[in-house]
Chains A and B, each alone.
Chain A
Amino acid sequence: MDALPVSGWIKDQLQALQDFVLLLAQAFSNIFRRPFYYDDVLLQMDTIGFGSLPIVILTGFFTGAVMALQLSSTLAQYGQIERTGELVSISLVRELGPVLSSLMVAGRNASGMASELGSMLVTEQLDAMRALGTDPLKKLVTPRLLATMIMNFFLTIVADLCGIFGGYVYSALAIGLDSRQFWSSAFYALDFHDLVQGLTKPVIFGIIVALVGCYYGLKARGGTQGVGRATTQSVVAASLLVIMSDFVISRAVITFLGK
């Protein structure tokens, strides 16, 4: 008797994975099929990108400042305090910038996508769209996917810059580090492997955030309560997948690029 619920749970998970993969395939295939909803993409880019800018800036700035605070005290024990900028820039560009900006975007936009699509689903607006000959995936999911991919890329650059700037502000004011020394060491530490790694991740994270948000929105069941549940689940799942995929991507980049 106990085997049935477990097998049912496994079946549900496998089916969910299948639906997610199908949604991914359809959303990407819609990018290259007419009609193109440029206005929808632009509006989503505004909502997702520019709308997330304040939290990404604040998150990046204070993360960089905190890193400078923690790292400088540790580096001072080894007499390497002048390398604070180097460590802040490498950490932000490789890991923290993409991950934190993606988590902020997930928290703000995956939930928004899930609630919006879930509301449209439960109010049968999606059915109405289908009745009018509009593909809801093409009209709703693909613009969100494109907008999240593109804007997460640029938001990560902003987050990296703000993070390094936050580290610089703390280093200059609290440690008394020379600005030229900080910025030159910050740039000197970076190489193209770091940029490739740090700018590949936000694109993939954007795909994850957009598709998870849309998936949970499109799978919302049970009226407004179901929409609320889908919203929560989408944030949790998007955050977890971002962090898990971060490990996989980092490992893959180190394997292929050697660093």
Chain B
Amino acid sequence: MRRGEARASLAFRKRRWGAGLPSRSDLRWSQLKVGILVAVAATVLLVVFFAMSSEAGLFRPKIHLISYVDNAADLRSGAVVDLQGVRIGNVLKVHLARHPPDPRLPVRIDMEVEANHRQWLRTDSLVSLGTTTFLGQALVNIQKGTPSSPPAVNGTVLKAAVATGISQLMVSSHTVLQNANELETRLGNILDQIQNGQGSIGRLIYSDVLYNRFNRIAHNVDMLTHDISSGQGTVGQLITNKSLYDKLNHTLDSLDQLLAQVRTGHGTAAMLINDPRLYRHFDQVSLNLNRILKAVNSSQGTLGELVNNRQLARKISSSVNNLDSLLAGIHAGKGTLGQLANNPTLYHNANALTVSLRNLVQAIRKQPKKYLTIHLKIF
């Protein structure tokens, strides 16, 4: 049994290595084959490694950026960081900060990005969370900053923009849907009311009252236009009768002639417009008036004294008061003048005297000799 197994083992070795143990040439051949395999596999690995290194920027200098957001939106460490959609780094850490600068933004995101993008990475660059596709992995997207802002450096805290991830989209769409539902309900109620003929629009659509009114109005308008076109009434006459036009035309012609006369200097109005003498007269009058007013202001003449002299004014005032009291006494029938003004007896006596005098004159005229007898006595 043992001899048979030993022979089997020897046969196995002969099958693999020929007769006996492997020779040096067998070993070298094995070494060559293994070396080729290892070299090929190592080359492939190196190619992949360097391809990934160049893609991921493994050996490029990096800077550390920080941002605070209100919700991480399933962002994990290792997630992609894009600048304007171009991959520039990865998320190092996502965690709830103990002392966030703004309590409304408790989630701190630490990112490591390539430093050679500082031309676009500015302190006013905005960080937003998104996804690679609609259902894809969460990522950080950085919007480029303005050139006037200083470039981001190691440890710069970038401000977070309003999130546009799928979760935020769902939240906002939920609100929109709620509003849409509410709007739909209200619109349904309004349509029901309209269908029931309620309200202005419902009556407008379903009630024939307004239609009938419109119909009557249209009928009246039709009749009115017919009357106007047939020359009836004032408007119709205005439109169809030529006499008004002729009168207006004649009036305009007259006006035109009048204006022509004015332009040629005929008549008072034309003289008023065209003759400068009236202007000069007015000018002279105004100069004289001005001179008078100056004299008045300088207390020259009677009028000046009247205007400026207070003593005279007081005297006049006193005289007026006296005159007033005098007139009051006259009005009250005091004194001779008062009696003259108020007592009719003198008037009646005077009237009777006048009548008697007239009768006397008449009698003298009739019989002058009776009255005009001159008795001449000389001594």
A residues near B (Cβ < 8 Å) are 39, 42-43, 45-47, 49-50, 53, 116, 119-120, 122-125, 150-151, 153-155, 157-158, 160-161, 187-188, 190-193, 195, 199, 223-224, 258-259
Contact = CB atoms under 8 A, between A and B. Distances in A.
B282 interface: no
B33 A123 contact: no
A159 to B, nearest CB: 10
Given A46-B30, A116-B12, A158-B40, A191 B56 contact: yes
B218 interface: no
B38 A123 contact: no
A211 B259 CA distance: 131
A124 B334 CA distance: 182
Given A123-B2, A192-B56, 16 more contacts: A42-B31, A43-B27, A45-B34, A46-B30, A47-B16, A53-B37, A120-B9, A125-B6, A151-B37, A155-B37, A158-B41, A158-B44, A187-B51, A190-B48, A224-B5, A258-B78
Contacts of A123: 2, 5-6, 8-9
Interface residues of B, number: 30
B1 A195 contact: no
Contacts of A157: 41-42, 44-45
A96 to B, nearest CB: 16
Nearest to A89: B48
6 contacts: A49-B37, A50-B30, A124-B2, A157-B41, A188-B55, A190-B52
Contacts of B56: 191-192
Contacts of A46: 30-31, 33-34
A53 B33 CA distance: 11
Interface of B: 1-2, 5-6, 8-9, 12, 16, 22, 27, 30-31, 33-34, 37-38, 40-42, 44-45, 48-49, 51-52, 55-56, 76-78
A224 B34 CA distance: 32
Contacts of B31: 42, 46
B9 A119 contact: yes
B260 to A, nearest CB: 90
A49 B34 contact: yes
A223 to B, nearest CB: 7
Contacts of A39: 22, 27
A55 B161 CA distance: 54
B52 A187 contact: yes
Contacts of B42: 154, 157
A193 B76 CA distance: 14
Contact of B49 (A53, A151, A153, A195): A195
A183 to B, nearest CB: 9
B45 A191 contact: no
Contacts of A125: 6, 9
Contacts of A223: 1
B113 to A, nearest CB: 16
Nearest to B45: A157
A38 B48 CA distance: 30
Given A223-B1, A258-B77, A161 B44 contact: yes
Contacts of B44: 157-158, 160-161
B5 A122 contact: yes
B52 A195 contact: yes
A199 B51 CA distance: 17
Contacts of B52: 187, 190-192, 195
Contacts of B30: 42-43, 45-46, 50
Nearest to B28: A42
A154 B44 CA distance: 10
A38 to B, nearest CB: 9
Nearest to A192: B52
Contacts of A124: 2
Given A154-B41, A157-B41, A119 B34 contact: no
A193 B42 CA distance: 18
A123 B30 CA distance: 27
B242 to A, nearest CB: 81
B87 to A, nearest CB: 9
Q: Which 6 A-B pairs have the closest CB atoms?
A: A46-B30, A154-B41, A123-B5, A157-B41, A50-B33, A45-B34
Contact of A154 (B6, B12, B38): B38
B90 to A, nearest CB: 9
Nearest to A183: B51
Contacts of A49: 34, 37-38
A45 B31 CA distance: 9
Nearest to B26: A43
B8 A42 contact: no
A187 B55 contact: yes
A50 B5 CA distance: 28
A123 B51 CA distance: 53
Contacts of A190: 48, 52
A50 B31 CA distance: 10
Contacts of A150: 38
